[in-house]
Amino acid sequence: MNSNITPKPNPDFIAEQFDDEILLYNKTGAQAVYLNPPAHTVWLLCNENLTTGEIIEFLQQQYPEQREQIREDVVSALEMLQENKVIELVNE
């Protein structure tokens, strides 16, 4: 995944918070998406107008001991969010 791509959250989704998990559902009620804690963190960062590279870098600074795993986890979470139309990946 290109590091310069910026994930843009779909404003049609509303979040229901459960401790460190989250359920996103769209306004028509036709779709709901469950986010585990790592995906939840990535989704929160998608709301900060960061590029994919910046999201990975931020998390690697926060969790240096998991540096290697973080890129894979972020890419996988972004792919899942894009598949469910929760975000759009924009090449700016």
Q: Which residues pair with 41 in a beta bridge?
A: none
Choose which of 12, 23, 61, 83 interacts with another protein (CB under 8 A): 23
DSSP annotation of 51 reads: -
Pick 25 or 58: Cβ nearer another protein? 25
Choose which of 4, 32, 79, 90 interacts with another protein (CB under 8 A): 32
Per CB under 8 A, the segment of 5-13, 16-24, 48-56, 72-80 that binds another protein is 16-24
- Give yes or no for a contact between 73 and 39, defined as CB atoms under 8 angstroms apart: no
Q: Which residues pair with 87 in a beta bridge?
A: 9
Helix or strand (DSSP H, E) at 77 = helix 67-83
| Chain contacts with another protein (rule: CB under 8 A) | 14, 16, 18-19, 21-23, 25, 29, 32-35
